[in-house]
Structure 1
C-alpha cells in the first residue's frame, strides 16, 4: 500500500491542505486500512463518525447523531432542527476544535443528514463557510449499501433534494470536493473475478460475465461440516432462522455466555450477542481482529467450535493446522473530548462491551457483511431489494472458486442508481493530479496567513453595537460619537492597513514560491506587532466606554452579548497574530486559534462578581494578586480578567498554594498558566505567608521556593534610570515602545518620574490644555480631537498626570 499512488495522494491532501476529500474505491481497495493509518499519524485534530452504531464501533469512532445531537427523523432544509438541541460548553469547544471530520461508510449517509452536520458546524464555527470551514474526509463506495429511507420521509425531502445520497447535500455542493478513487484491489487476485465484479459494480454486466457468475450456481448445495461456508442472505429473519436451525440440529449441550457491559454502551452498537449461545460443533465467525502479535484471526474469519470452557473457547478454522484459543475481548464506546491543556481532540472511553469475539455464522445478512472478507460463502442474492446489495455480497468473497450461488443471478437483481452512476463516472474521469495538490498546499498556507490578518469578524462586532444603538434608540450623542471615532480609527488604522499588508504578502509569497522564508517571517512579526499595539491602545481601552447607561434590561443584555462577541474576536485575533508573528506554521496557527477559542472567558462586569456580603479570605493577598495581574495585563495588552479571573484569585487567597503543584490544583489554573505565571504567583503567596507568619502545611511545600521575579515595570524603571532610551529598553526586552511608555506613565502618576523626562513638556501642556478640567472618559476621543500628531502614550501620560493633580 505504501506504493499506491492514489492512497499517497489522498494522504497528502488530508495532511497538508484544507481541501475536503471523497475517498472511494471498489471493495477491498484499502479504504479501511487508510483510515487506520491516518488515526496513528495525522497531526490535525480529527473526529471519526459513521451512520450506524456498529459501523462507528468498527471505525473506532462515534455515531453522527451522538456527536452532532441530530434528530433521527428527516432534516428539512430551513427547519433548523439541530437548533432545538442544547449544546454544553464542553461539546461546543470540542466541535470548534475539530480540524478534520472523517465520515466512514458515507454511502449510507443521507443528504439531509450531511446538511444537518453542516448546520451544527456553521452554528459553532464559521457560519459563512460550508461545514463551518471544517475539512471533511468522506470514505465509502457509492456502489455498495445505500441510505435507508422510508417513503413518507422521502416525500418530505424530495422537494429539496435530487436524491437521497450524500452528494445531493446542499452544503457539499458548495465545496470544491477532491475525489480520489482507489483502483488497486487487495482482496481478490483473480483478474477474471475482478473484471466481473467491476461489471456488477458499474451495472454493466454482459452475457459473458453473467455466465461466469452463474457457473457458480450449485442447486441444493449443502456444505460439509468444517468447510467454513457462510450463507449471505438479504433479510435478518432469514439469517436468524438459518443460524437457529443449524444450532438446534447439534445434539451437544448449549453453553451460554453473558457479555459484561459497563457504563454507556447502547444495545444497537453491540458487536455480537449480549447472551451468546454456543455448542461444540457450532460454526462461528470472528467479529474482531486479533490484537495479539500472532494475528491468529481477523474480522470475518470462519471456524468451528471444538472445545468450550468458562474462560476460553477453542475454534478450528479450515486450512489452519492448530486450534485458536479464543479469549474474551473488549470493545470500547468512545466519546470525543477536548483536552484543556494540550487542546487536542481526545477519545474518552464511556462504556465497554466484553464478550467472546464470536457469533453464529451459518448465515449473515449482506448488510452486516459489508467490510468483511470470506474464504467461502453461499450467496442468495436473487431477492436483492436494495441498491448495491448484489455487489456487496459477491465482493465479500476472495475467490470465484470460494463462492457458491444458491440461486442463479438474474439481470434485474443487480440494481444501480442513475445519479450514483453519474457521480461515480465523474469521479473516475476527473482524478486530481500532483499539480493540483501543490496548488492546494500553497493555497492552504496562504489562506491561513490571510486569516490571521482578516478583521471582518471584529468589524461585524463593532457594527452590531451600532445596530443595538439604533434598535433601542439610544439618544446619548457622546456614545454615538465615541463609537464613530472608534470605528473610524479601526477602519483607518486596522482594516485599511491589513488590506494593504495582505496585498504585499501576496506578492512576497509569489516571489518566494509560496515559502515563508526569513524575510517574510520578519515582515509577519512586524505586522503582528503593529496590530497587537493598535488593539491594545485604540480598541480594548474603549470597549467599556461604549456601554449605554440605561435601566432597560433588554438593552443591557443585548449590549453585553455584543461586547462578549467583540472581546472574544479580539482575544482570538491576538492569539492568531502571536502565532504567525513568531515562527509561523499552519499547525501552530490552528492550535493557537483553537486554544484561544477555548480559553476565552467573558465575565461582563468583570471584577464586580465578588459577593460584598461574603468576607474575602486574606484580602491583602488578594489585592497583591490583583495588582500583579493588572500589571501583567498592561504588559501584554489584554484585559486583566484574561490573565487570571477574579474567582481564581479569590480561591488562591483562600487556599494559599505555596507550591507549583498546589497552584495547578486551583480551578482556573492549568499547566499552561502555571508555566507562564506560576513562579510569580507562588512567590507572591509565599511572601504574604512570611509577612503574616503563616506556616504552610508540609504537604504544600513540595517544590523548592521559586526565585522571586522582579515586576516588569520595575525592570523598565531600573533600565530607564541607567540612562537607556525608551527605544533601547523596548528592543532589549522585546517589548513594544508603547508598553515601555505605559510602564513609565505609571511612575509619572506616582511621582517617581517627571513627565518631561519621558515626553516633551510642551506637548504634554498642549494635551492638558485640550483636556482642561473636564472628566476624561476616552483616550480615543482625546486623540481624535488632537489629531495624529499626538500618540496614545503621550495622551496616557498627560491623563496620568492630570489624575495625580486631582488626587492632590
Structure 2
C-alpha cells in the first residue's frame, strides 16, 4: 500500500466518518489525491464487516472486491421501480420491482450476507448508473427489513465524477430519461431522498508543477482559458516517434486504435512471437479477466505491469513500463528491464481470485470465498492502451490521442495520468469541444462539505452513531426471529425426544418474546431521550441505561443463556441431533453477542455523559464486532479492534512536534482521545509531565496515593473541577510505570 500521509486532515477525517459513524459518504478528489490509497487504508484499518464492489469487472479486480451485479445477483438490464411491463421482446431488458425480485434468487446464505454487512464500499462510482443503485437499494431494504436508505447499511462511495461516466445506450436513455434527470449514481431516487456526505481529498500527490495542476483543474472544471488551451496544444507533435529506449505509451480513445498500434510495433520487432496462455481454474468468467488470456510477446516488447509487486521488495507497480529481455517458457518466467536505472526483475505468473462474499455466523465475519483463479503474467503490451484502461495509473511519458474524445472526462483522465507536462506529447490537437464537463456533475460536486464545517459535522455524526449503537443493543428482532425459525423447523425434524425439544424451544421463545416486549418499550423511551429538541441529557440517559442493564442482564443469563447451555449439553449425546445441536450453538452465540452488546452500553453512556473518548469508545464498542469463542458454557468475547494501531499513529504525529490539539484536528478525534492514545507511551517514550503541567501532576499523584484503590470518578470528586478526567488518567499511568 502507498505510504499514508497521516498529516492529511481531510484523509483522516474521512477515515473517522467511515469508521466511527454510520453516515453514507461520497469520497471524491482530483486524480492523484489518494482515493485508491484511502480504500486500501480502510480495508486495513476498519473493524466493520465490509464488502467491496465496483460497477465493472476490471474496477472490481483493481479494488480487490467483486462486481455489484455479482454481490447483489442483479440481472443485466435497466431497473425502473414502477415501470408498467408489456411483457414482450421490447421490454425484456427492463425490470420493475416485481420482475427484479422474480429474477434475484436470494438464498438463506445470501440473505444472511446482506443482513450482516456493516459497510458497503463502491469504488469507481463515476461509472455506476442511477437505476443500478436503486435496484441495490430495493434489495437491501427488502432483505434487511428496514425502510431506511440501503436498509440502514452504511455505504462508502469512492470516485471522481469528472472522470469516466456510466455507459447508457441511446435506446436505454429514451426510457430512463423519463424517470431520471441523469444516469449518474447521485440521481438515484434513494440518494435524492437522502444524499451522502460529500468529502473531498484535495492534496495532489501525482503532480507537483503548479502550471500543470492549474491546467488540470481548469479542464476538470470546464473553464479552460484560451491561453491554457494554447499551452496544452503546444505539445502537439503529429510526427513524433519515441526515441530508442524511451518508454512512451500512447493513450487513445478506442480499443481498435490501441490494438492496431500494439500489433504494428510487435510485428516490427525481430524474432518469433511467443504466446503465453493464462491458467484459469474453476469459476472465473471471461468478462472478469484482468489480463489477456493469450499474451503474445517478443524479446524487446514494451510492456506495462498491471498490478503491484506482491513481494516485500516492491520492485514494480501498476503502470510501470519496461521491456522484455528474456522469455523462459520452460520455467514460466520472464525478465523485464527498465530504462530508469532500476534493476531488471524476474516476473512470474500472478494469481487473481474471483471471490464471493459469505457470512460466517459462528465467527460473525464476512469472509471471501474463492470461486476461481486466473493466473497470468501481470503484463500487457504497452505501446498503447485505451484511456479507459489507464484510469488509476501513473506515467512519466505518454502520447495522448484524445482529439476525438467522445465521453466527458476522457481528456481529463488521459492528461491526469502524467506526472509532468514535460512527459506529454499530443498526437492530435485537443479542440475546445472535447474539454467538457457535465453540468449536473458540476452542480452535484459543489455540495462538498466546507473544510471548516467537517469537524463539527463529524462530532455530531459520532454522537448520533453512539445513540444508534445504544438503540440497536436493545433490539431483539433478529434473536427472536432466529428462535422462531428454529421452533418452526423443529416440528419436521426426526430427532431424539423431539416433543421435549419442541416444548423447550417454545418456552425459550416465549421468554425471548417477553424480553423483546420490554426491550421495545425501553427503546421507545431511549429514542425519546436521544432525540429531544433541547440539548440531550446524557446524565439521564446514563442513569436509565444503567437501570435497564441491571434488569436485563440477569434475565438474559437466567432465562435464555443458562437454559440453552443446559439443553445443548443434554441433547449433544442423543442420536440424530448433530444438526440440531449446531443450530442451538449458533443461537447461543447470538444470545452471547446480544449480552455483550448490552454490557457495552454502560461504557458508551458513561463516555457520552463525560464527553470524553467518544471515538475510541465507538470503535471498541461496535455491536457487530463482538465475537464469541467456541466454549459452550463460557463466553470468550473479543471485541474486534481496527487492524491498524491508532495509538501509534497519534504518537508518531506527536513526535513530529504536533500539539495534542493539532493531532486531534488532523485525525478528526477529540483532545481527550488523543491523550488517551499517548498515555500508552508514558514511562517508555513519553514523560507524564509533557501532558500535564508538572505541579498539577504532583498534586494529582499525591491524592491518588493517599486514596489507594479509588476510581477516577472518586478522585475527580476529591480534586474538584480544576482537574479533568484525562489528567487523572495521565497521573495514574505515571504511577503504574
| Superposition TM-score, scaled by structure 1 size | 0.63
Distance 1:415 1:534, change over 3 A: farther
User: Which of residues 333, 352, 367 is equivalent to 1:331?
Assistant: 352
CA contact (8 A) 1:47 1:100 kept: yes
Alignment partner, residue 222 of structure 1: 241
User: Which of residues 154, 161, 175 is equivalent to 1:142?
Assistant: 161
User: Which of residues 191, 204, 214 is equivalent to 1:195?
Assistant: 214
Alignment partner, residue 265 of structure 1: 284
Alignment partner, residue 125 of structure 2: 106
Residue 530 of structure 1: how far off its partner (Å)? 8.6
Distance 1:169 1:441, change over 3 A: same
The answer as to 2:45 corresponding to 1:9 is no
Distance 1:43 1:490, change over 3 A: closer
CA contact (8 A) 1:261 1:353 kept: yes
The answer as to 2:519 corresponding to 1:526 is no
Residue 176 of structure 1: how far off its partner (Å)? 4.6
1: CA distance, partners of 2:590 / 2:524: 16
2: CA distance, partners of 1:160 / 1:572: 46
Alignment partner, residue 294 of structure 1: 313
Superposition map of 1:158-307 within 5 A = 158-307=177-326
* Residue range with higher mean Cα deviation, 434-443 or 447-456: 447-456
Q: Show structure 2 runs of 5+ residues with no match.
A: 83-95, 483-510, 561-586, 605-617, 637-737
CA contact (8 A) 1:23 1:138 kept: yes
Alignment partner, residue 612 of structure 1: none
The answer as to 2:69 corresponding to 1:65 is yes
Residue 161 of structure 1: how far off its partner (Å)? 0.8
**SS of residue matched to 2:105:** coil
1: CA distance, partners of 2:516 / 2:385: 66
Superposition map of 1:275-424 within 5 A = 275-310=294-329, 311-424=332-445
Residue 367 of structure 1: how far off its partner (Å)? 0.6
Residue 676 of structure 1: how far off its partner (Å)? 6.3
Residue 428 of structure 1: how far off its partner (Å)? 6.2
Alignment partner, residue 725 of structure 1: none
Q: Deviations over 1:92-146 (max 9, x none)?
A: 1111110000000000000001111111111111331110100010000000000
Alignment partner, residue 524 of structure 2: 499
User: Which of residues 172, 181, 201 is equivalent to 1:153?
Assistant: 172
User: Which of residues 18, 23, 27 is equivalent to 2:27?
Assistant: 23
Superposition map of 1:505-524 within 5 A = 510-512=536-538, 522-524=546-548
Residue 211 of structure 1: how far off its partner (Å)? 1.5
2: CA distance, partners of 1:212 / 1:358: 34
Residue 426 of structure 1: how far off its partner (Å)? 2.1
CA contact (8 A) 2:396 2:418 kept: yes
The answer as to 2:39 corresponding to 1:35 is yes
User: Which of residues 56, 64, 83 is equivalent to 2:101?
Assistant: 83
Distance 1:319 1:576, change over 3 A: closer
CA contact (8 A) 1:179 1:431 kept: no
Q: Deviations over 1:170-197 (max 9, x none)?
A: 1122325111111111011111001000
**SS of residue matched to 2:79:** coil
Alignment partner, residue 639 of structure 1: none
**SS of residue matched to 2:138:** helix
Q: Deviations over 1:670-720 (max 9, x none)?
A: 93547669xxxxxxxxxxxxxxxxxxxxxxxxxxxxxxxxxxxxxxxxxxx
The answer as to 2:595 corresponding to 1:578 is yes
Q: Show structure 1 runs of 5+ residues with no match.
A: 462-485, 537-569, 597-669, 678-808
Distance 1:173 1:589, change over 3 A: farther
Residue 33 of structure 1: how far off its partner (Å)? 0.6
Residue 527 of structure 1: how far off its partner (Å)? 4.8
Distance 1:222 1:151, change over 3 A: same
Superposition map of 1:482-493 within 5 A = none
CA contact (8 A) 2:474 2:598 kept: no
1: CA distance, partners of 2:516 / 2:392: 56
**SS of residue matched to 2:150:** helix
1: CA distance, partners of 2:147 / 2:418: 46
The answer as to 2:633 corresponding to 1:671 is no
Query: How many residue pairs end up in the alignment?
Result: 550
**SS of residue matched to 2:156:** strand
Q: Deviations over 1:418-467 (max 9, x none)?
A: 10111112226587511111111011011221234468999999xxxxxx
CA contact (8 A) 1:285 1:300 kept: yes
* Residue range with higher mean Cα deviation, 207-216 or 315-324: 315-324
Distance 1:489 1:287, change over 3 A: closer
CA contact (8 A) 1:48 1:104 kept: yes
Distance 1:525 1:353, change over 3 A: same
2: CA distance, partners of 1:120 / 1:594: 26
Distance 1:460 1:149, change over 3 A: same
1: CA distance, partners of 2:478 / 2:192: 25
Distance 1:94 1:280, change over 3 A: same
Alignment partner, residue 740 of structure 1: none
CA RMSD of aligned residues (A): 3.6
Alignment partner, residue 643 of structure 2: none
| Superposition TM-score, scaled by structure 2 size | 0.69
2: CA distance, partners of 1:166 / 1:33: 22
The answer as to 2:454 corresponding to 1:433 is yes
1: CA distance, partners of 2:291 / 2:526: 60
CA contact (8 A) 1:494 1:531 kept: no
Q: Deviations over 1:554-588 (max 9, x none)?
A: xxxxxxxxxxxxxxxx9999667623432336568
Distance 1:400 1:593, change over 3 A: closer
* Residue range with higher mean Cα deviation, 200-209 or 132-141: 200-209
Residue 528 of structure 1: how far off its partner (Å)? 2.8
CA contact (8 A) 1:96 1:594 kept: no
Distance 1:234 1:243, change over 3 A: same
The answer as to 2:473 corresponding to 1:449 is no
1: CA distance, partners of 2:267 / 2:480: 73
2: CA distance, partners of 1:456 / 1:99: 17
1: CA distance, partners of 2:338 / 2:479: 65
1: CA distance, partners of 2:348 / 2:481: 60
Distance 1:574 1:67, change over 3 A: same
**SS of residue matched to 1:292:** coil
CA contact (8 A) 1:526 1:581 kept: no
CA contact (8 A) 1:575 1:592 kept: no
1: CA distance, partners of 2:549 / 2:516: 21
CA contact (8 A) 1:126 1:133 kept: no
**SS of residue matched to 1:171:** helix
Distance 1:270 1:578, change over 3 A: same
Alignment partner, residue 641 of structure 2: none
Superposition map of 1:621-636 within 5 A = none
Distance 1:283 1:191, change over 3 A: same
1: CA distance, partners of 2:190 / 2:462: 23
